[in-house]
């Protein structure tokens, strides 16, 4: 038997990636797809690669209709639009995985400072942060999952073992580069091809990016004390991928690579690369894998922790499916074993 699932916000990039992964998942049936501006259109007309594969029609997102059709709901709506729908669906006994930022921050004041007023404030703090490598036990019983942001996933997987072991000093400098799909499907000047191609640019620097408190929140959990970062994201002219480099003062002279190896030992989707091998987004593209590494600049006394992920898979939809597997008691890798295509 399969479990019926719904995808809300199916016409966006993360929604399309959810469909791709869930369509191949042996334990689920996609019972409904929902959108706003695209309601009434066939999903295959929105994403032509689905011609001959799906006849599903996008519907307006009505909580009662979704709850009647699906046991599990993935919400890929924009920030601010997801909270009330998720709250209603949880109240109706459905298990929800939210890919927006509405429930990622556990402190309401922090959410208001970075995102403005919350549309379901009583739900803040109730969601499980959906990073399986950190919250696997809680995810098994979760009714509401806050799927992490793409930049935080990359930064946390790179730096967490070193922060946890006290091997890297603060403040941390997070330098990350993302493909333009991270900005979503709606066209904008900054992601227009002539604007984005042939160049690389930083944006929302010096504490302006909303993923900053999310990274600090999760690293502080393992540090047992507040963590402060300086986060500089960059837009690069590729469609997919995130490369994150996290810099901090080295505490000690050795054991940094071994720290990553030990912390991520046995993780199905995190690979610590051999010493001297560096992460590359090309080698994780289209997969749910994360490649991590660390280098020690002994002359400067600095550690460089690195990771590469696909922002739409391990950074969003694949991670959501990984959380689903844990919630349902299925093998964690179900539906997620695809190898990255190359070249």
Max CA distance (Å), the chain: 62
Number of Cβ within a 10 Å radius of residue 276: 8
- Residue 7, SS3? strand
CB 174 within 8 Å of CB 156: no
DSSP state of 226: -
Contact 318, 334 (CB under 8 A): no
Answer whether 101's CB lies under 8 Å from 117's CB.
no
Contact (Cβ atoms closer than 8 angstroms) between residue 102 and residue 118: yes
Residue in 48, 249, 273, 95 with CA at minimum distance from that of residue 163: 249
- CA nearest to 83, candidates 57, 109, 101: 101
Q: Can you list the alpha helix ranges (DSSP code H) found in the chain?
A: 13-23, 43-46, 63-69, 83-91, 108-115, 132-139, 150-164, 193-196, 212-223, 256-263, 318-328
Instruction: Provide the 3-class DSSP secondary structure of residue 240.
Output: coil
CA distances from 10 to 22, 37, 175, 268, 274 (A): 12, 11, 30, 27, 38
Contact 246, 155 (CB under 8 A): yes
Q: How far apart are CA 229 and CA 220, in angstroms?
A: 11
8 A C-beta contact, residue 274 and residue 262: no
Q: Would you say how long the chain is, in residues?
A: 343
Q: How far apart are CA 261 and CA 175, in angstroms?
A: 22
Q: One of 86, 150, 245, 259 is an active-site residue; which one?
A: 150
Q: Is 150 a catalytic residue?
A: yes
Assess contact for 307 and 154: CB atoms under 8 A: yes
Q: Hey, which residues are catalytic here?
A: 150
């Amino acid at each position: 038997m399969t479990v019926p699932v719904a995808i809300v916000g199916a016409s966006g990039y993360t929604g399309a990636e959810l469909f791709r992964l869930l369509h191949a998942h042996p334990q689920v049936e996609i019972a409904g797809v929902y959108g706003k501006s695209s309601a009434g259109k066939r999903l295959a007309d929105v994403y032509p690669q689905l011609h001959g594969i799906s006849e599903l029609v996008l519907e307006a997102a009505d909580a009662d209709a979704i709850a009647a059709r699906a046991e599990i709901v993935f919400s890929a709506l924009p920030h601010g639009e997801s909270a009330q729908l998720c709250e209603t669906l949880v109240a109706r006994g459905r298990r929800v995985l939210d890919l927006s930022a509405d429930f990622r921050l556990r402190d309401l004041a922090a959410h208001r400072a970075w995102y403005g007023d919350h549309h379901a404030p009583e739900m803040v703090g109730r969601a499980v942060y959906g990073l399986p490598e950190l919250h696997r036990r809680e995810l098994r019983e979760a009714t509401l999952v806050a799927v992490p942001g793409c930049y935080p996933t990359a930064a946390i997987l790179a730096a967490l073992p070193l922060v946890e072991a006290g091997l890297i000093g603060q403040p941390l400098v997070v330098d990350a580069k993302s493909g333009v799909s991270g900005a979503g499907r709606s066209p904008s000047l900054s992601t227009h091809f002539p604007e984005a191609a042939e160049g690389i640019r930083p944006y929302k620097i010096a504490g302006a990016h909303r993923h900053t408190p999310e990274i600090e929140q999760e690293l502080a959990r393992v540090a047992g004390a507040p963590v402060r970062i300086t986060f500089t994201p960059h837009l690069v002219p590729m469609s997919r991928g995130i490369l994150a480099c996290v810099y901090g003062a080295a505490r000690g002279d050795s054991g940094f690579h071994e720290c990553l190896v030990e912390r991520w030992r046995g993780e199905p989707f995190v690979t610590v690369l051999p010493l001297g091998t560096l992460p590359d987004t090309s080698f994780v593209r289209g997969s749910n894998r994360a490649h991590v590494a660390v280098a020690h600049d002994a002359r400067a006394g600095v550690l460089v922790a690195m990771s590469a992920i696909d922002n739409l898979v391990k950074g969003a939809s694949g991670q959501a499916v990984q959380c689903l597997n844990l919630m349902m008691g299925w093998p964690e890798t179900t539906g997620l074993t695809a190898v990255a295509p190359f070249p």
